[in-house]
Structure 1
């Protein structure tokens, strides 16, 4: 799918529509805010940096997009010709970001941290409806180009950046056509008959979701021991798989032992950027594809890994199928206590680093958040950071104690270690208490 620029009204993508509907039920929610920091070395002229930010906003529709209703009463997006992009200058890190009004652009805010009239950090808060993790890399690189050009007395050529409106129109046409309908039906067929709930033991009974569809969550971060991280990486290379596949094999084996089920559905996040144009667009493309895994806990780990590899490759073929359209096709029983189809997710953060190294050096990274909103019961992400390979858990505080998730992490590490050292053995069983 390719995007084009457009003023509006234009339809929403399926991902945008889900976020828009959520906002209607809980206006002003901060559940879908994305916070990030951009570090600036050796520092920047504040006035030039603000001018460069406005150059980027003029090039990317996402910074000028707002949402409302078209003449037929359907949700729509509108791209304004210009928006004011104030960039307040502060002396230190800011307070938690305020919610956005989706009907008023911009849906992105910046704060410039300055010392002795030199900008050293740029803080970003954006609504997920116009921004995702991949977008941070695009922003950082275009901002670097714009700043270097401004400093040299010119303006960067940032023309031709595609906008989300064109992708929304292309997605709607594809889903309405034979190929889109066939893809939705095929993925639904793979999931039909799967358990509607992964019934893992919880520390407390399930309660109803908040109005925005989430729950109060918490996060736990662990660094894999260096030797384990090295062994997992080498094992994946030798087996011609990926870190994502090996990690998912271990995670799903833990879930199978924990739940007592051999039919496991795990959400897998895909960037959803399946064209060169999409790779250059600031916007919300990420999509969750449910992967159905048959887990035989008595079989060798390497056999389970082969099945996971096939499931991941098959899932990648369906990353254009919006999750909400899949839910419509399967129409599972709804419950206020859990999400349909998927309650757990796994992934590896392996997007291109958000860096620019020109006349100025910029490095973007998500802001730390140990009390993140929990969309699902449990998620686990592996992320490569300078300090090593991190295991990042997010969990529902109303379901799980912190100690339970810490024990799960130990079990996950043990399953990874045993799987790499002796792949012919079954996945690691829970440790004896």
Structure 2
């Protein structure tokens, strides 16, 4: 081995001196005969077809993912002693290193394929005869595996792993990550065109076909996901009964958890109120679909549906691949710019304050839970205009003005003038992939030091600067920073979700005109308080854990907002 530093090497951690020579020879061989790749891919396809036929006939809960000549076995329902399958394969003369990727080469011909299939037959038989599948019940899906159902596996992002951990290991937290849209569809509905449009969305966007590996560190993206659109006919009911039935349907669907490992992580339901009124319910897990994605999907749904009913082809650009986004994000985090973003946040948070102590209405008890409610606070257009003018007079946007008011409210409620407020930032805009669907949101821990602020104007200037700096460094997620922050136990629990405060702006694009769109509430939340303001319409206040009803927040509010603006009245919605 050379004693100097290695600039580049091909292969794995086994740095054999012949590696470069072998790789160079292989590349020259491939360049001399481009048909080799196609030949190997065709061979791999034939092998996967044969294996899927065997697995389907035996009702064996396994799927072989294929990407070119790369083959990867995946359990669709893993038995308790699933590792034994690979021991049986090796016993039959087929070397397989557990569930790791396997490759075919030009050396694999029909004889080798026969031996591989025979090895699978032997391993499947041994698993069944040994009773190692007794804890697995084959479903209809398992015995109807299509030969073209393949999948690819990509690393999950740090933000996705944060959601995965919270979903899996915080009791009752799963419902907090159900994202729902209820669409009002008025007029004669072409259900076939609607089904076509929804299937097109599933086919276009990888995240809608994604599920997680057992450890949450990988995404399994299935090649195809067949649309399931149950139709609930409520047309025979009276108006009051119909409204109640629709509410029950929304509650039931929003109250169903997703299985992150088995998937799918998206579902639809259609309610028929009468011949010209329908409601389409769209629910997805937050780990694969964020608010920005919802806007993209609504826009494309309208375009594809309209094209279908008019006999045209929908004019849509190719959808960005989530796998590409994962690669771009990883490259950014490892780049000098990404490291600079990381250093910025570590400097901001190295002496972060204790979590805010909001005055609760009652003792939370040992297990406060995650039940939640939503309060809508109407804000009329005139008040929004005055708020915008107030910010403009100080060189700040409406977002910065609202965020300052939010921070000032917490300052009054808690007596703390050093606050860390979560701010959601869309990764799609940061990485220039505006039409991407997936979980791309980063939670930015915006730190506001208001101890030097002398009045609202000073507080607004501090917030404006902090906000601009945060968006300039939005490429790093909060979860990436946590392992490097020295937090006290209390601050650790707050960072993990015990006491989190978030301010979020609902962008206009998230509420398309003529969409008739509203958001059902899941009845659960992953943070104690989230305030969402939407331009020109209203503001949402979500509370979780039964600890912070809106009275607790209102109690600390001054009768008049900054600049002599009257405080709007609030009404509390049902839980």
Give the TM-score band, short-chain normalised. Answer: 0.7 to 0.9
> Which contiguous aligned blocks of 4+ residues in structure 1 show a shift greater than 6 angstroms?
none
Tell me how far apart the structure 1 counterparts of residues 211 and 364 of structure 2 sit (CA, whole Å). 36
Kept in 2: contact 1:269–1:286 (CA 8 A): yes
Q: Pick from 555, 562, 572: which aligns with 1:416?
A: 562
Of the candidates 494, 500, 504, which is equivalent to residue 338 of structure 1? 494
Matched residue SS, 1:393: strand
Task: Check the 8 A contact 1:372/1:394 in 2, yes or no.
Answer: no
Task: Please tell me whether the aligned partners of residues 19 and 129 of structure 1 are also in contact (alpha carbons under 8 angstroms).
Answer: yes
1:8 and 2:8 correspond: no
Query: Aligned in 2, Cα 1:331/1:205: closer, same or farther, shift over 3 Å?
Result: farther
Q: CA deviation at 1:287?
A: 1.6
Q: Does the 8 Å CA contact 1:378/1:396 hold for their aligned counterparts? A: yes
| Deviation for aligned residue 1:275 | 4.7
The alignment status of 1:392 with 2:549, answered yes or no, reads no
Shift of 1:398: 3.7
In 2, the alpha carbon distance for the partners of 1:352 and 1:248 equals: 20
| TM-superposition CA deviations, 1:58-90 (whole Å, max 9, x none) | 111122112215xxx672112212111111112
8 A contact 1:63–1:108 mirrored in 2: yes
Match of 1:348 in 2: 505
SS at match of 1:187: helix
Q: Give the match for residue 429 of structure 1.
A: none
Are 1:271 and 2:426 counterparts?
yes
Which of 138, 163, 179 is 1:34 aligned to? Answer: 179
Please give the alpha-carbon distance, in whole angstroms, between the structure 2 residues aligned to 1:400 and 1:151.
48
CA distance in 2: counterparts of 1:328 and 1:43, whole angstroms: 55
**Higher mean Cα deviation, 200-209 or 219-228?**
200-209
Cα offsets for 1:307-336 (capped at 9, x unmatched): 110010001012211110121221423448
Match of 1:289 in 2: 444
Contact 1:64 1:79 in 2 (8 A): yes
Distance 2:482 2:471 in 1: 18
Name the CA distance, whole Å, in 2 between partners of 1:10 and 1:219. 36
8 Å CA contact retained: 2:425, 2:444? yes
What SS does the corresponding residue of 1:8 show, helix, strand or coil?
Answer: strand
Equivalent in the alignment of 2:64: none
Query: Aligned equivalents of 1:49 and 1:250: distance in 2?
Result: 43
The structure 1 residue matched to 2:528, chosen from 359, 362, 377, is 377
Q: Which residue of 2 aligns with 1:90?
A: 232
- What CA distance in whole angstroms lies between the structure 2 residues aligned with 1:208 and 1:12? 33
Deviation of 1:209 after TM superposition, in Å, equals 6.6
Q: Contact (CA 8 Å) 1:112, 1:119: kept in 2 or not?
A: no
Q: State the partner residue of 1:367.
A: 519
Residue 246 (structure 1) shift: 0.8
C-alpha distance 152-218 of structure 1, shift in aligned 2 (>3 A)? closer
SS in 2 for 1:304: helix
Which residue of the other structure, out of 23, 35, 51, is the alignment partner of 2:167? 23
Q: Which residue of 2 aligns with 1:163?
A: 321
| Deviation (angstroms), 1:226 | 5.1
Give CA-to-partner distance per residue, 1:384-412, whole Å, 9 cap, x none.
3xxx532321223442344223334x53x
Which structure has more relative contact order (CA 8 Å, sep 6+)? It is 1
Secondary structure class of the residue paired with 1:122: strand
Report the secondary structure of 1:345's partner residue.
strand
Provide the C-alpha distance between the structure 1 equivalents of 2:220 and 2:159, rounded to a whole number of angstroms.
16
Q: Is the 8 A contact 1:206 1:337 kept in 2?
A: no
1:50 shift after superposition: 0.7
Deviation at 1:299, TM superposition (A): 0.8
Q: 2:390 aligns with which of 235, 245, 248?
A: 235
2:29 matched residue in structure 1: none
Q: Is the 8 A contact 1:271 1:287 kept in 2?
A: yes
SS in structure 1 opposite 2:155? coil
State which of 349, 353, 358 in structure 2 corresponds to 1:191: 349
Deviation, structure 1 residue 364: 5.6
Name the CA distance, whole Å, in 2 between partners of 1:117 and 1:201: 50
Structure of larger gyration radius: 2
Q: 2:308 aligns with which of 140, 150, 157?
A: 150
Q: Which moved more, 1:112-121 or 1:29-38?
A: 112-121
Question: Equivalent residue of 1:195, what SS?
Answer: coil
SS in structure 2 of the partner of residue 186 of structure 1: helix
Q: Tell me, which stretches of 5 or more residues in structure 2 are unaligned?
A: 1-149, 235-245, 567-575
SS in structure 2 opposite 1:130? coil
Structure 1 residue runs of 5 or longer lacking an equivalent are 1-5, 357-361, 422-433
Q: Give me the whole-angstrom Cα distance separating, in 2, the residues matched to 1:183 and 1:243.
A: 26
Give the match's secondary structure for 1:99.
Answer: coil
Pairwise CA distance, 1:139: 0.9
**Which structure has more helix as a fraction of its residues?**
2
Normalising by structure 1, report the TM-score.
0.82
Q: How big is the alpha-carbon RMSD for the aligned residues of Structure 1 and Structure 2? A: 2.9
- The CA distance in 1 between the partners of 2:460 and 2:186, in whole Å, is 43
The residue aligned with 2:286 is: 128
The 8 Å contact of residues 134 and 351 in structure 1, kept in 2 or not, is answered as no
Instruction: Specify the SS of the correspondent of 1:39.
Output: strand
Deviations 1:142-161 (A, max 9, x none): 11221122223344254520
Counterpart CA distance in 1 for 2:485 and 2:438 is 28
Deviations 1:346-371 (A, max 9, x none): 23212414437xxxxx61634232x6
After TM superposition, give the deviation of residue 196 of structure 1 in Å: 2.8
What CA distance in whole angstroms lies between the structure 1 residues aligned with 2:364 and 2:176? 20
1:103 aligns with one of 248, 257, 261: 261
1:48 aligns with 2:193: yes
Q: Residues 208 and 344 from structure 1, CA distance in 2 versus in 1: closer, same or farther, beyond 3 angstroms? A: farther
